[in-house]
Amino acid sequence: MKKFAITLLTATAIMAITASATWAQNMPKKIGYVTNYATHEWYQNVIKGMQDRAAQLGIEFEVRDANLDVAKEVAAAEDFMSQGVDVLIVTPVNEEGVVPLVRRAKEDGIPMVLEGNPVKGMTTMVAICDYDTGYHAGVAAGQYAKDHLGGAAKVMNVGLPLLSATVLRSNGFMDGLKTIIPDATMVHDLDGGGNPDRALEVSSAALAQNADINIIYGINDSSSQGGLQAWKAAGKSQDNLLVVGTGGEGLGFINMMDNEPSYQIEAAMFPEKVGFTAIDAAVKLFNKEEVPPHIVSPTSPMVGKDSWKQFYDLADNKRTIKWDAVNALVPADKCMKTAADL
Amino acid sequence: MPQSLEARVDRVAPIPRLAAMFRRNETVLLLVLVALLVFFTIGSPTFMTTRNITNVLGQASIAMIAAVGLGMLVIAGEIDVSIGSLVGAVALPLVVIMNATGSLELGIISALVFALAIGAVNGYLSAYLGINSLIVTLGSMFVIRGGIYIYTGQKAIPDDLALESFYQIGNGRLLGMIPYPALVALAVFAVFSYMMGHRRFGRQLYAVGGDAEVARLAGYNVRQSKFIAFVLCSLFAGVSGILLSSRLGSAVHVSGLGFEFQVVAAVVLGGVSLAGGIGSLGGVALGVLILAFLSNGLGMLNLATEWQQVITGLIIIGAVGLDELRRRRG
Amino acid sequence: MQADRSLAGTPTEVSGAPAVTMTGITKLFTGVKALDDVSLTLLPGRVHALMGENGAGKSTLIKILAGVYRPDAGQISITGKLADLRSPRDALRQGIKVVFQEIALIPEFTVAENIFLEGYPTDRLGSIRWDRIRADAAALFARIGFDVNPDDKVGNLPVSKQQMVEIARALAHEARVVVMDEPTSSLTPAEVAKLFDVIRRLTALGMAVVYVSHKLDEIFEIADTVTVLRDGRHISTKPVSEHTHETLITDMIGRRIDNLFPRARGAAGEQVILDVEELSTEKLKGISFKARAGEVLGFFGLMGAGRTELAKAIVGFDPITTGRITIGGQLLQPHDTRTGKALGIGLLTEDRKSEGLMLDLSVTHNMSLASLERFSKSGFVSEPSEKSAVQAFVDRFRVKTPGLTRQIKFLSGGNQQKVLLARWLMRGLKVIVVDEPTRGIDVGAKSEIFALIDELASDGLAVILMTSEMPELLGLSDRIAVLAEGRLTAIMDRADATQEKILDAAIA
Amino acid sequence: MTELSRSAPQVSPKLGWLTSQTQLVLLVTLFALCLLISLAAPQFYSVDNIIAILRQSSLVLIVAVGMTMLLIAAEVDLSVGASLAFAGVVAMDVTNKTSSVTLGVMAGILFGGGVGLINGLIVTKLRINSLIATIAMMMMLQGSVYLYSREAVQNKHLQPLFTWLSTGYVGPLPLPVVVTAVLFAIGYVVLRHTTLGRYVYAVGANEKAARLSGIRPARIKMLVFIVTGLLTGLVGVILCSLMNAGQPTAGRGFELTVVAAVILGGTSLTGGRGTLLGTLLGVLILKVIDNGIIILRWDQDLQMVIPGFIIVIASYLDLLRKKSNAS
């Protein structure tokens, strides 16, 4: 209860500072959000951010889950439209797959905010810069490798070729890494499926084949966790290893940063902030305000053991975002590279 | 013709109509559907609107078309779990050819030819070589999906030319009201429901699924019947895939994942026995509608997805269990 | 266009030219000759009986005529023209209709639809005319005189009615040859009479009829000509008038059987082993009887009288509504075969395939199934002792099998039946219920089974024999009980029993 | 059919001989695969890699032991993937809450057993086809695991014992491999040499015959469902330990891998036929392929394609074998 009060207080404070303009706007009555995969921690926290923000603004907020099924996503959005929501927020399961949906929402006059990935014909999107996120983590990893790993960088990428966003992260990571260590190489490029058990399985084989790997990069926390666990399962010491995770999705990375010596860098992407920003964008669209096609939500590499504490509080097995710290991050106006560059 | 034998023609006992009705699986399903509709209408003011109902019918039609095909195949005593992969795969020839030629028709034709080819391969391996169809299609499920990933490099292929006709087939509505896919589904359902009940073709599938050896002795070509059922099943999955692709405006490599489970669940919920020979397309259609309205209605009640899954699972067990009980009571 | 030779048609002239000639038919199954140079000529208007033990090649010959198998050598001519019967469809098109021994009906379809399975009447647009199917089926049954409701689902019918449907189906369409493979195994005498009436009418219409049966009386009553096969070879073809029971049997088995029902056992004991009191199920009504050690208690009843139901209820397979079943003084837990087995009662089922055999498993595993505990210590099966016990029974029962590990599906019906009987004897029972023990089994094997039943009784078991075969009933039983429509209508000593008394009670 | 009896002792033709030995074919396939992969990538034979393969195989094999018995008894369980994820979450959560690894592990295993029990009840009491019943169970478990915990449950107190479950070694072998070997051996003995094993075959081969012989098929089936459930729970716990967290998203598609391996091993989908040795080979073949594709740096999507082909081909060979036996 106390925690809730604090959250509310903090939130109100932020509102007073950042969102004073918002009060002057008309509020949509109801916002519907179709998420890609509600059961994933990342989206859980995006939803949390949205719920909090919607509650502050007095907007009714509903979520439906596509559960990784494109067809179901379209159906869920249709249901929202026929139910009569004022604004729709959609995280596409696949960018191409919702093109007709965007068109139909337009025809129906329902404003739509995309989250995560750009879609042809969209008005606006709230997303982090995946490439940049990877890039900055790559730079930090390069620095770490120079200081602690004797300047060698042999990377196992526990990737996910399925999504352009995750490919961008991997590319960004390697590019950033190469700015510090020019001869860094990606020794093995894996499809870890974005889930830990699959990541663990493919990593086991790759680690067995390549004895020289000293950096594990995961496109999300599950992937880096799978990679690290495969490393541990092979009975290897973490002394000369660096693990870099991406996302800061839930509690997993905090646990690993606290307890795994090699888990030194997290490319945090602050899902709560993404959700928060998406609701604000939705309100702006509802009021027919000008919005940029890409509203960037900030990310930041966290480097070193306790670095996560700068942005999060942990109590009772729940994390709470430190809004002031996150809001202080200045997002880039424009991403270094996007899916269009792939 | 000896006279004495002519006498007792009319010994057919009159069936008590109402009792017979309740002995039918379709009646039970219809009651379940009506109960759901009533429940959701009470629970959500936006549920029972023309807009929402036509909306759900449009959504259900994709599964409906595939379920008609799968229903016939299961009645013929076989199964196809590769339809999910196929639904995703037909979009590739569709969109690729459409992009190359600018012709929706050519795209559709190549998609259907592709579906036919897959059906023929499944059918050949299963009906003619005699490999268990669950295994064959489990294999092709993996092979087709893997093939899609390899071909596309795990990326969706957009409809580059943004053909209006392509958009319309999946998203358009007749008179601005009835979604085109629903019309396709209705047509497919009506024609094949009639075929199953009133044409030799359909009775042959029932006979073959009921007892293949008996059907052979009665002069049916069992292998050919099953082969045709496989091909039709794939063809309808292909039609579903085309409409879905239009709704998605592209060939999405992950589309249709898990679709086979949905359709199998609908078919079984509809009272079709996995052992073959039992069931009706009417039941299948009701099974599809129940699952579609359930998903829509539970969403309208703003119930979290996880509850939806739990409830859907319970309803499947409940309905199939009831049906089993009903059947045992005879 | 040939004349309409369905049952509805008018008599045509019986011409002398053969309807079907099969010459030099040879069929091999992996190198073994199931048929070796067999010839058969079927004349229109004649009933041709085909006789032989199981394994003699009758079924193979019929299946070749039906287009199910293709011969490896030989020719088939139909009305003088060579015919290539590649599938049952070809045979049907040639007007060859077969009533198969194993009922070949779709259980989920109605009686009427099954009748017209081979050719649905359709309207001009090709839609099936369901009204006509129903009416025609009803009319057909009326003409034959069988009491079957065309709207019933075949799967819900007792075997006897299914057999009637099977027969009717062969008569629904125009035919040149009608083959009946043991069509009467489930029919009552009255129904058999009706069937024979039909056959006579068919032959009067000029159809050729092939009739296969193990029941010699039937052959002498209906057949004109008899062909006997043995071990895949043609033994004799003669007018039936030139045969006696003895010559026919000699032709069939190559030796004489002096006594089909040997009786080696003494008088039955006094000790009551099985006591059934007021047993009722959905089908049975208040049945009470006692069976004593060393006696064979025969149950007779027409189809549907409740024999199989009674058998399944007293071994604990089916649930009961009321009543008590006591075995060796201990109460049987109804609907529980496990306590049944523990108390020492077992059932030799009438339906080997679906209730008895584990087709994919070995002879050993099939035989030892009910008595595994005897060969096992704390749950582990001792394979040597199991094997020697199985071997002992294989030797004692003269089970013909290439080895104990052979899958049982490769054994003949008689040998399968012996294995199933051994399944129970190995266990050591107090009461054994045998339900139609000789269904689908040839004369030679029959007498062996009869001898075994006699042996069981002399070993002190109570044998409950369920049968629809009058000779079997009279030849084996010490006492005879009669069921009619689920009730026990009579129970009498063998000495007092006559065929008439029994039938009277069965019809009551 | 009776005519067939006399053809019984006939020696099969050449192809028949080859295919008559399902397990031999699988063994040869396995060796051929290993040989080919190691020619292209010598690292295949590194100790690390072999241990990695064994560890991965062990997870599948443990559940496959139960699944083989289920298929032999003519049933199937498609809820194992969802169940193992849930079991892992439960195990981790209980471990965190009680600080007792023993209790956590027990909770995970019992959870799996509970799911098996419910599956068994649905199948034997409601008599619902197990394919459908367990698909429904899969949906319910996937939904309810998130009702239980929306997040992955982390190893909060960092119980080293918990981690040891998956990463520990017994001599040169990883603990999960040893556990698997023991369970496999038990399963093998039970299926081959005990009355229970015989009953499992009997129930699958002909349920009515089994019941007439005094066996209670429903109990046997219940038991096999429960065993499969318990084994699934155990794998859930091991996987959870391996990932150091209970992941609700784990195990997607696991059921298909297991069923594929069992079928590849020659177990019939219609019951009554199958061996654990075949299953062992099936699992190893699939996992060697998985591993080989990564080692060879082939397109990982082939990890779906190749097993698909192999399953179909293996079934076809099996069919040829049956035909050459029969004719």
Find where tokens 């429509």 sit: C485
- Residue C12: band (very low, low, confident or very high) from pLDDT cuts 50, 70, 90: very low
Q: What is the pLDDT of residue A19?
A: 47
Distance CA C12, CA C62 (A): 26
Mean pLDDT computed over D143-169: 81
Give percent of chain C above pLDDT 70: 94
The residues near C259 (Cβ < 8 Å, ≥ 6 apart) are none
Lowest model confidence (mean pLDDT) among B43-52, B258-267, D157-166, D249-258: D157-166
Q: What is the rounded CA–CA span in Å between residue C325 and residue C276? A: 5
D22 touches chain C (CB under 8 A): no
Top mean pLDDT of B74-78, C396-400, C410-414 is at B74-78
Maximum C-alpha span of chain D = 70
The CATH class given to the A2-128+271-297 domain equals alpha beta
- The yes-or-no verdict on residue D90 having pLDDT over 80 is yes
Q: B194 to chain C: which residues are within 8 Å by CB?
A: 127
Q: How far apart are CA A106 and CA A122, in angstroms?
A: 9
Which residues of chain D does C59 touch, with a Cβ-Cβ cutoff of 8 Å?
1-3
Q: Is the pLDDT of residue C2 over 60?
A: no
pLDDT band at A129; cut points 50, 70, 90: very high
Of B13, B15, B206, nearest to C108 by CB-CB distance is B206
Q: CB burial class (10 A; 0-12, 13-18, 19+) of residue C172?
A: buried
* Contact between residue B212 and residue B204 where contact means Cβ atoms under 8 Å apart: no
Whether C53 shows a pLDDT value over 90: the answer reads no
CB B138 within 8 A of CB D273: no
Q: Is the pLDDT of residue D131 over 90?
A: no
Query: Residue D204 belongs to a domain with what CATH number?
Result: 1.10.3470
- Put simply, the answer to whether D311 touches B129 (Cβ < 8 Å) is no
On chain D, the residues whose CB falls within 8 A of the CB of C29 are: 3-4, 6-7, 327
Strand order in the sheet with C32-42: C32-42, C20-29, C73-78, C81-83
In this predicted structure, the answer to whether residue D150 has a pLDDT above a threshold of 50 is: yes
What are the tens digits of pLDDT across the range A255-306?
899 888 999 999 999 999 999 999 999 999 999 888 898 899 999 999 988 8
The answer to whether residue A40 scores a pLDDT higher than 70 is yes
The answer to whether C268 and C457 are in contact (CB under 8 A) is yes
Nearest Cβ partner for B129 among D259, D307, D316: D316
Instruction: Give the pTM.
Output: 0.85
The DSSP code sequence of D218-257 is HHHHHHHHHHHHHHHHHHHHHHHHHHTEE-TTTTTTHHHH
Q: Is C66 helix (H, G, I), strand (E, B) or coil?
A: coil
Q: How confident is the model at residue C14 (pLDDT cuts 50, 70, 90)?
A: very low
Q: What is the mean pLDDT of residues D226-251?
A: 91
Please say if the pLDDT value at position D75 is more than 90.
yes
Please state whether at least 3 CB pairs lie below 8 Å between chains D and C: yes
Report CB contact under 8 Å: B248, A97: yes
Q: Is A339 on the interface with B (CB under 8 A)?
A: no
From chain A, which residues contact D within 8 Å (Cβ)? Answer: 38-41, 44, 188, 190-191, 195-197, 200-202, 204-211, 222, 225-226, 229-230, 232-235, 250-252, 254-255, 259, 317
Res. C65: pLDDT tops 60 = yes
Query: Which residues in B lie closer than 8 A to residue A62 (C-beta atoms)?
Result: 302
Q: How does pLDDT run across C453-486, given as a tens digit for each residue?
A: 888 898 889 999 998 777 788 888 999 999 988 8
Q: Can you read off the two tokens belonging to residue D106?
A: 């027990």
Per the listing, tokens 């965007």 go with: A102
The answer on pLDDT for B1 being more than 50 is no
Domain A2-128+271-297 and domain A130-268+335-341 have a common topology: yes
Q: Domains of chain A: which residue ranges? A: 2-128+271-297, 130-268+335-341
Question: CA of D293: how far to CAs of A209, C153, D40, D308, in Å?
Answer: 11, 55, 11, 14
- Which residue among A71, A93, A97 places its CB closest to the CB of B250? A97
- C partners (3+ CB pairs within 8 A) are B, D
Bridge pairing between strands A312-315 and A318-321: antiparallel
| pLDDT computed for residue D19 by the predictor | 41
Calculate mean pLDDT across residues A91-118. 90
The answer to whether position D67 is within a domain reads yes
Query: Which chains have 3+ CB pairs within 8 A of D?
Result: A, B, C
Residue-level pLDDT at D21: 67
pLDDT at D210: 93
Question: What is the spatial distance between Cα C230 and Cα C216, in angstroms, rounded to a whole number?
Answer: 16
Q: What is the mean pLDDT of residues A209-215?
A: 89
Alpha helices by DSSP H, C344-412: 363-368, 383-396
The reported pLDDT for the residue numbered D44 is: 84
Mean of per-residue pLDDT scores for chain C: 85
Q: How far is C152 from chain B (nearest CA, A)?
A: 9
Lowest mean pLDDT among C459-468, D6-15, D95-104: D6-15
Choose among C88, C139, C150: nearest Cβ to B216.
C88
pLDDT at B57 exceeding the cut of 90: yes
Angstrom distances, CA of residue B246 to CA of B82, B107, B243, B259, B320: 21, 12, 5, 17, 33
In this model, does residue C335 exceed pLDDT 90? Answer: no
Q: How far is B230 from chain C (nearest CA, A)?
A: 21
Number of domains in chain D: 1
CATH number of A130-268+335-341: 3.40.50.2300
Residue B34 CB coordination number (10 Å): 10
Check pLDDT > 60 for residue C434. yes
State the greatest distance between any 2 C-alpha atoms of chain B, in Å, as a whole number: 78
pLDDT class for A7, splitting at 50, 70, 90?
low
Domain that holds residue D318: 15-326
Every domain of chain B and the residues it spans:
59-256
